[in-house]
Structure 1
């Protein structure tokens, strides 16, 4: 896209994202058009997860992407997910073959009304590495069954950000 004010600069395509509902399903009460989102703080590692059925229904599993494992400890570690002014305490299972959050992830998914097709951006605020401190993630929930799958591959580095306009 070119601007008459300066040189050519590629900007991302913008799409409207609406929640995907199963037939007969109603929107959760926490989902609203005026829902506030906060930008990532920048400079911190993060990953995105597009919610699939196993994330938001039994067995309620959130497995961390392989590229993010190097940032996390190889042991079970206390973990806090912060979202919308609330916090959920759980454990990161870094001592298992599948690096995942424990069963308390279900509380987060249900409390936030996560649906298949929603996206969550997990920003690592503190912890990780070799230190024995708890992991803290700031989680951004992006509603929408129309979330382009291409976004799931972005956000691994500051050089390939997800831009939300």
Structure 2
């Protein structure tokens, strides 16, 4: 490695001019569950009417990554929010949505993971965040639904891995 680089993170070399320098706005990373039942329906929750983000709107089971991997976040959130037990080995990447919503706000990288298997029945365990769980066919999604949730479901159905929303 040359003198002009340090290793930061997962072995990614970063030029010294960027190490410790003022950085741009960091992205928030979210992990989302794409769970499809045997009938082809997708699990969505109805967000609480007092939610700061998307009140009274349908959305994936999801959470923000903390000091953990995105898959570990998904596994944790599924258990905390709905009582679903998912083994990390039963999770596969399904889609990413990189968005700024609304424009001018902090960007978000929303990672959607498909769970091939899980145990448990979706239960409301955080009633201050979610007031109900339901299974919906991709061609008959509920309204209202978080726009990027709809975009991700449509993209997954079409076999696409990546969507951008709100970038100019």
State the TM bucket, normalised to the shorter chain: under 0.3
Please tell me whether Structure 1 or Structure 2 has the larger radius of gyration of its CA atoms: 2
Task: Using structure 1 for the length normalisation, give the TM-score.
Answer: 0.25
Task: Using structure 2 for the length normalisation, give the TM-score.
Answer: 0.25
Q: Greater relative contact order (Cα 8 A, min sep 6): structure 1 or 2?
A: 1
Return the structure number with greater strand share: 2
